[in-house]
Amino acid sequence: MTTTIRPGGTIAVLNLLGAVAVGYALWTSGAAARPLWGSVLAAIALVAWALRAFVAGLPRGGVLSVVLGTLAVLCGGFAAGATHGLTVVPAAIGSLAVLGTVGVPLGYGLSVAVLGCGAIAVGAIAHPTDVGDSLTMMGGLLLAAVGGFSRRQFREAEAQAALLRERELAMRQEAERVAIARDLHDVLAHSLGGLVLQLDAAEALLEAGDQTEAAERVAAARRLASDGLSEARRAVATLRDPDGAGGGVRFAGRESLTSGVERLLQAHRSLGGVVDFTTTGTARPVTSQAADAVLRALQEALSNARKHAPGEPVRAWLVWAQGALTLTVSNPLPDTEQLPEDSPGRGYGLTGMRERFAGLGPGSSVRAGVQGDRFVVTAEAEL
């Protein structure tokens, strides 16, 4: 790569007009008295200057534009004394362009500028030129080189900023993908898993001829499906607008957290589960993120208890302490299924819990494992 920013057509036209203007000045300022080599080198420098801007605008013209810029520097510098300094202009433009091209080695750009100064000195010997005038021409060339270096730094900073923006966008997209997968897992595990249980029970009741109880099961299944749909919509709304319409951090009142807990406990009981729930401490408002993490953790733990220890009593504690809110859920170990020690069940439930609580900041965490004859999940949110 030799360039990252291609000049537009306007820049190319301006360069062409500049080359034409300098060429006209050369033609009208003693061309007859100028040595032939001086006129030839001046013409080459002007043509290289004009073509470089057009070539640099081409998709694959980077290397050729650098070659033309170098040619303008060397030929323009060598002919500077013979042209009374007029060809220092293409030499300076060429030096600025080469040094300002991102991707061209910095050492190459600096070498071109130094060689341009050397060409001015050699040209001054070939066509005797005042020392002061030669030094002035060298100064002009070096000043253009400094400008090229500054432009290079600016473009590199722009490229780095663009790269950072791309990486930040990729990280946000990855976080959104993980959040979508996590919420889909929780909603499907709770709603569809419970729905299957209710429909299985309804089918068994119909086979036994108990249509009344079967109808109640079907009605419960309908409510569960409706709740699942509402949760899915809420999850989508949260992903699309995580901070809410008002922006900033929203706070969930203790009533909303309490009502969410009650809703999950009722849903578990309606599916035939038994749960003993205890809350201690003084409840207070928490952030919506903390409330959502706690509710999702309870939902996942109850879903896994129904899956791996169906019909077994579940114990749940919600403890309000100074600076922390802790949820603990335990269920008896299944008789026929050996669960991994660090997982409440198959799937990504525990992973989702840990991600949610990790997002709450330092001090928030999830622990899960076997304790005696029970499987225990403890989720702590730092308040």
The span from the CA of 383 to the CA of 235, in Å, is: 23
Retrieve residue 108's tokens.
Answer: 């190459």
The span from the CA of 80 to the CA of 77, in Å, is: 5
Q: Tell me which of 106-110, 216-220, 339-343 is least confident.
A: 339-343
| Per-residue pLDDT band at 37 (split at 50, 70, 90) | very high
User: Which amino acid, one-letter code, is at 176?
Assistant: E
3-state secondary structure of 293: helix
Give the pLDDT score at 336. Answer: 60
Query: CA dihedral in degrees (198, 203, 204, 208; nearest 10)?
Result: 130
| Per-residue pLDDT band at 163 (split at 50, 70, 90) | very high
Q: Tell me which of 52-66, 105-119, 248-262, 344-358 is least confident.
A: 248-262
Q: How many CB atoms lie within 10 A of CB 283?
A: 15
- 309-339: buried (b, 16+ CB within 10 Å) or exposed (e) per residue? beebebbbebebeeeebbbbbbbbbeeeeeb
Give how far Cα 233 sits from Cα of 175, 184, 290, 338, Å. 19, 11, 19, 35
Q: Is the pLDDT of residue 345 over 50?
A: no
Q: Is the pLDDT of residue 157 over 90?
A: yes
Q: Is the pLDDT of residue 89 over 90?
A: yes
Averaged pLDDT for residues 351-372:
88
Give the pLDDT score at 346. Answer: 55
The span from the CA of 21 to the CA of 9, in Å, is: 18
**Within a 13 Å sphere around the CA of 37, how many CA atoms are in the beta-carbon half?**
9
- How much is the mean pLDDT over the chain? 84
Q: Is the pLDDT of residue 219 over 90?
A: no
- Of 153, 34, 152, nearest to 82 by C-alpha is 34
Give me the residues paired with residue 324 across strands.
Answer: 321, 382
Q: Is the pLDDT of residue 370 over 70?
A: yes
Residues 297-321 have pLDDT tens digits of 998 898 888 888 888 899 999 999 9
Q: Is the pLDDT of residue 13 over 70?
A: yes
| Per-residue pLDDT band at 190 (split at 50, 70, 90) | confident
Q: Is the pLDDT of residue 75 over 90?
A: yes
Helix (H) or strand (E) holding 295: helix 288-308
| Per-residue pLDDT band at 194 (split at 50, 70, 90) | confident
| Per-residue pLDDT band at 259 (split at 50, 70, 90) | confident
The span from the CA of 345 to the CA of 358, in Å, is: 20
What are the helix (H) ranges across 188-253? Answer: 193-207, 211-240
* Residue pair 329/265 in contact by the 8 Å Cβ criterion: no
What are the helix (H) ranges across 32-87? Answer: 36-56, 62-78
